[in-house]
Structure 1
Amino acid sequence: MSRRSTPPRGSRLPRSLVPLAGESLVGYVLRSAHRLDLTPLQFCQASGLAANRPDFVNGRKLLQLSDAELERFMTVTQLNESEVENLTLSPWKDAYPSIGLSLAGRWDKWIFHITPRFCPQCLTGNSTEMQRQLGGARMKYWHLPVAFACIEHNCILSDQCPRESFHARRSALSDSLIWNPNSLVAHPSQCRISTDISHRRSADRLCRTYLKAAEYSHVDKPDAEIINCQKRILNVLHGNITHEEFNITDLRLTAALITASWPKSSDFVKANLRYAVDAHVESLALRYPKSYRKESPIDSPPTTPIRSAALLSTADAILNSTEVYDLVNFMFQAAYPDREKNDATWAHNVNLQSITCSKKFKKISAPIMEYFNTVGMTSTRDVRDRRRLHSYNFAPCSIPSFLEPGWWDKHFSSVPTRNLRTARRLAAIKLVQLSMGGAQNEAAAYLDIPYKPAGRSQFRAWSESEYIFANSVRRLALELEESSSLIDYRKRRIALQDWAIDTDSWNYLLDSLSSSSSGQNPMLDNNKRQAVSMYIWTLVTNGEYIFAPAPLRALQSEIPDKLFYNRVYDYYRRLIRSSGGHYGQLRILLAPITRTLAQLIDEGEQVPDAGLYRLIRTNVRDG
């Protein structure tokens, strides 16, 4: 097959092609070179894409052309700047994070394939004269690891020639934009892989098999989930949907978690696709035999289209599931059963890619990151990234200083605890942290409760699993975000910070009380008055009685603190535990006071210093 001499550099080519919709730089070069009877290398040299190397065109040209290369390519091909840029991946730098990272100098493994992928029907082209001569478009998205299906022809992409078994080892030319670029073939859709890479003139040993639809009648037909996943990926790349609606980083991280937890995650993969994920995991084990799950290879992209289809469509299904939080947590615990910090590579990957994750995924992974980021993150950037993961849209004032019993029973029943009071207190602190950020001591101060630096070690002592606890906190946080009827507990705490039941109201209660069933008159001194005030305070603010204000302490300054609080706490415990007798009657009388105080504060009214009993009588009569 004869070839023309290389055209002078920088001169316009005699015939120029208009790029096809979605075509890549590789496809345009192959079709243009074939039309001009040039080798791809000659075309690249004439258009400024290649130096004088006989067998190589830098594959990174597909990513972006330099200003000089862009100008020269425009001149030679007579294309405008937009047409040339659209042949490269650079327009997708915002939609596909790996492209943006690679353009910034941080080369990412999810940017290119080792081998190209293609749709045989697309390469065959349509019935137009030009496509009959030159074939169809080699689509730009085929070069990305997230390409696995052709939505136009409803088929899984191929990455193999029908004569694959005769090919030489592929990796030798994997960095080249086009394989064997200095060889002529009869048609752009012919296979350019050499059957003997050791041969002195590899051009004489090219495969040259036509990669046309007729040769691929066996191509797998994808199901609707695979096609829909590929459609969403393309919509993101083309800017038709937002990153919050569908996020490629979320997909990538979920795929890595499936890999890390395999085979326990196999139940989430369709039965007819499990072999593909299994092959992907086995290939990683062969390439990284030493505990590959502890290293970055779990984030390696699948090397074949069917593996990509199986892994990414499963990840997409998990992210769209109503049980996504349970599924992600199950896979994480399966991958890292001991949850040792140096063994949680997936959590490290989330940290590295947190900037491009969706808000939803940050919340999904937040319990894991809470556990693994608490220790060992000292740099300013790490702390900033961690705080970015902890963002919830509920007001911290809606958190009581002592977690509501209903909230605890609903979300924390599975948490093994040795000290319920400590657990409920810490849960409140964590929720405030999620809402307003900051450290635990700042959250405790916001809740008006003391905080000791040793609190975290105490927490480890009472909880069998801090991770389960963190996950429960996140579940409650998500529920609070959706709630429209939250109480402003901080407003109540501020209104009652120096409050005690006034003398007139106390006397009203005394007059209303009958003698106990034993016929004895119970003690009704200021100690009990303080205990009653403490009881009302805990009900209104949902706080712990030990942190309740004690303004009546000043009236008994002659009594030691220990004796005073022992008496007050004893009265309080009797009050909350007794269902009948004197204390039972007292609790019935205190119910309207509690309702009245809560209503006054929530409506923004001033809490009266005296005369509360008048409102009490009104509420009792109305109730």
Structure 2
Amino acid sequence: MRPLPRSLDPLPDEPLTGFLLRLAYRLDLTPARLIELTGLGRFPAIHELHLPDDIAATFAHAARLTATEVRQLCLSGWQDRYPPLDLDYRHTDPAIGHRYRANPSLPPGLAGWLFSRSTRYCPLCLADDTPDTGTPVIGRWRKLWRLPPVFACTDHKIMLAHACPGCGTALHDRANRSLSAIPSADRRQHPARCRAHARRTTAPCAAMLTDTPGVAAPPDLLALQQRLLSGLHLRPDDLDGDSDHRPAHEFLYDLRVMTALVRASWPLASHATTSPGKYSLTRHITELERQHTGGRNDAVVHAGLPTQSAICARLLAHAEHLTIALDDTDLITGLLLHAELRPAWFRYLRSAVPACSARLQALLEPRLREHFPPPRPESRTSRRSGITRRPLRHTSFVNTAFGFEARHVPQIFDATVIAPLAGLVGPALAPRQVHRFAATRLVMAAENCSARAASTLLGLPVHAGAHATAQLRHWAERHHRAIELQHALLEIADRLTATGDLIDYQRRRTALQHWPLPETEWNTLVSWQFDENIEHGPTFANLGEHGRLVASIVIWTQTTHGDHRATPLLHTPDRHERARSLAGAASNVNSLVKFRRASARWTHLLPVLLDYSRVLAHSIDVGSDPFVPQSAKW
């Protein structure tokens, strides 16, 4: 590879892409031709982060640079001070030659704290022909603009822009048109012009990025930017030194956890500070809620920093305030309780907390120990039989931070408890779905389990919880009420805890799993009603076995606070042969319990059945374990 006839000296904090754009413009070449002449191959995006040793040596020889200068052009030169850049670059890929993997020694999910496909920019820096080096330059790009925590230019005191003023496309976004890190590399144009293809045209936009009017950065955000650069060891003085970067790493990890806490506990976190910009943050979090489809990767918890500088700055301002206010136990505990309603929150903490500062670990590790069970013993294979015995999955762990456990959650809530969610949804959905959604989400949060597992713990059909969750999510997405929905769930959790002595509904459901109203008790009820209501005597006498089934379902519904459609009596092995009778019984129970609308005979029986259910519930709650239902003494 022959050296170029002329070259340029790299500027401080200049990325490899910016150097290639400046050099191509100076030599009157297209970036693609310059990439070919310097031995960079296709110049994939990975090469902007790190150049393999063989390619780096070839490029240094062709561009008349030293090995140190080439190393400083790549972002991997900062991998010791900025953890998202600390990647494993040793792997190869047949398509592009090289790629990278996450460092297994670091917490997962750091990719959102690095702009690998686009960049921010300062229009005044791009237009400055005489920077601090005193050498005239054209279109100076900076490596710092690739880091999401850098949202303002401290030299010109303006906010960084993230999109082209002409086409609105993110800067240097390849948009899947090419593997090259430089879009439209076959075009010869000024380094400060946009290279995105506007509106699917064949020619790039070519708008001058220096024409963007700079937005003055508020003084509080400028001060925040200075503190972030200092805490991350990214000031100009720090970039030239080799000081201990462990405090900077812990500062970044603390900031990352607090950023996730702000989003997961929004809008409650909005009251923690008086910082402006709450409306823009609400729109950002609502958009993340729309992206969340209910899987394990909750976008609100796991997303990186937004590209818009103003929104990113306000989010980091809230996170920094919480990092400083860790001693305010009431504030942090309230936000954590709100965030813990999201099933993905504890999984996120388990991977993120070990890398945080000792101060934050001391606050969060006790909650993790309460939530997660001890490690499961390993599977063992018998040498004699060859059978592998796996221990049963431990499912008794509970998140006690809520004040209740999964066994305290009923299938149907009292009207005062469900009121926040019922008032929010209104008549848009069936009340049964509203109750099932609330019960499923509370059990999922308390047990850190799936919707299917929560339905099983509640005694509901296995798909009932997931179906109700999907319906409520779709409603919230259509009406943009995702945040209000989360707030209503938190209010229901508070009201359930505030009811006083919590009831073990799971114990009641287990005790009545195979329980019908004893025939002797049923005959006693009917005979008693016959004595009190002589005029309805023949009617009571004709209720028969069907009447005993309806009475059993009514008592089960009232005792367990359950949904009559989920009673075990309607799901017996012979349910297919008794389908007509069971359907009629369910219909009678629905009219009797829900609407208090039935024939005269059931109107007279209902108060007695309710009294019977109260006595039966008390006997289950105070009875021995396991409780064996007997005739209630009433």
TM-score, structure 1 length as denominator?
A: 0.52
Give the match for residue 349 of structure 1.
348
Deviations 1:555-594 (A, max 9, x none): xxxxxxxxxxxxxxxxxxxxxxxxxxxxxxxxxxxxxxxx
Give the match for residue 195 of structure 1.
198
Question: Partners of 2:159 and 2:182 in 1: how far apart?
Answer: 22
Q: Does 1:265 align with 2:256?
A: no
After superposition, where does 1:129-528 map in structure 2 within 5 Å? Answer: 134-165=137-168, 171-173=175-177, 176-185=180-189, 187-197=190-200, 199=201, 202=202, 205-212=203-210, 215-221=212-218, 223=220, 224-235=222-233, 238=239, 242-244=245-247, 247-268=251-272, 270-290=274-294, 294=298, 298-321=302-325, 323=327, 325-337=329-341, 343-375=342-374
Deviations 1:127-166 (A, max 9, x none): 3799896424311121122221212222221112221358
Give the 3-state SS of the residue equivalent to 2:276 in structure 1. helix
Q: Does 1:118 align with 2:121?
A: yes
Question: Partners of 2:84 and 2:28 in 1: how far apart?
Answer: 36
- CA shift, 1:89, in A, is 1.4
Higher alpha-carbon Rg: 1
Change (3 A) 1:363 1:61: same
Change (3 A) 1:369 1:23: same
**Pairwise CA RMSD of aligned residues?**
3.5
Change (3 A) 1:269 1:116: farther
Contact 2:339 2:345 in 1 (8 A): no
- CA shift, 1:326, in A, is 4.0
Give the 3-state SS of the residue equivalent to 1:45 in structure 2. helix
Question: Partners of 1:196 and 1:344 in 2: how far apart?
Answer: 40
Give the count of matched residue pairs: 359
Change (3 A) 1:352 1:94: farther
Give the match for residue 21 of structure 1.
12
Question: Partners of 1:257 and 1:87 in 2: how far apart?
Answer: 35
Deviations 1:11-42 (A, max 9, x none): 11111111111111111111111111111122
Deviations 1:104-149 (A, max 9, x none): 6228333325431011111112437998964243111211222212
Q: Does 1:98 align with 2:84?
A: yes
Contact 1:295 1:345 in 2 (8 A): no
After superposition, where does 1:466-615 map in structure 2 within 5 Å? Answer: none
Contact 2:260 2:302 in 1 (8 A): yes
| Equivalent residue letter for 1:106 | A
Q: Identity over aligned residues, as a percent?
A: 26
Question: Partners of 2:367 and 2:294 in 1: how far apart?
Answer: 25
Change (3 A) 1:170 1:80: closer
| Equivalent residue letter for 2:44 | N
Question: Partners of 1:293 and 1:277 in 2: how far apart?
Answer: 20
Match of 1:44 among 13, 32, 35: 35
Change (3 A) 1:350 1:243: farther
Change (3 A) 1:154 1:362: same
- CA shift, 1:244, in A, is 2.8
Give the match for residue 130 of structure 2.
127
- CA shift, 1:218, in A, is 3.7
- CA shift, 1:196, in A, is 3.3
Where in structure 1 are there 5+ consecutive unaligned residues? Answer: 1-9, 52-56, 338-342, 381-413, 417-463, 466-623
| Equivalent residue letter for 1:256 | A
| Equivalent residue letter for 1:323 | D
Question: Partners of 2:40 and 2:294 in 1: how far apart?
Answer: 40
Question: Partners of 2:353 and 2:378 in 1: how far apart?
Answer: 16
Question: Partners of 1:271 and 1:123 in 2: how far apart?
Answer: 31
| Equivalent residue letter for 2:188 | L
Contact 2:164 2:194 in 1 (8 A): yes
Change (3 A) 1:63 1:14: same
Give the 3-state SS of the residue equivalent to 2:318 in structure 1. helix
Question: Partners of 1:219 and 1:363 in 2: how far apart?
Answer: 39
Give the 3-state SS of the residue equivalent to 2:277 in structure 1. helix
Change (3 A) 1:64 1:225: same
Question: Partners of 1:328 and 1:241 in 2: how far apart?
Answer: 30
Contact 2:123 2:209 in 1 (8 A): yes
| Equivalent residue letter for 2:323 | L
- CA shift, 1:333, in A, is 0.7
Match of 2:51 among 60, 65, 86: 65
| Equivalent residue letter for 1:24 | P
Change (3 A) 1:76 1:85: same
Contact 2:195 2:205 in 1 (8 A): yes
Question: Partners of 1:89 and 1:305 in 2: how far apart?
Answer: 21
Contact 1:41 1:181 in 2 (8 A): yes
Give the match for residue 88 of structure 1.
74
| Equivalent residue letter for 1:244 | P
Contact 1:167 1:194 in 2 (8 A): no
Name the stretch that deviates more: 125-134 or 352-361.
125-134
- CA shift, 1:335, in A, is 1.7
Question: Partners of 1:156 and 1:14 in 2: how far apart?
Answer: 39
Give the 3-state SS of the residue equivalent to 1:60 in structure 2. helix
Deviations 1:376-426 (A, max 9, x none): 66689xxxxxxxxxxxxxxxxxxxxxxxxxxxxxxxxx999xxxxxxxxxx
Change (3 A) 1:296 1:106: farther
Give the match for residue 572 of structure 1.
none
Contact 1:117 1:157 in 2 (8 A): yes
Deviations 1:241-274 (A, max 9, x none): 7433662121112111111111221123544222
Question: Partners of 2:169 and 2:33 in 1: how far apart?
Answer: 27
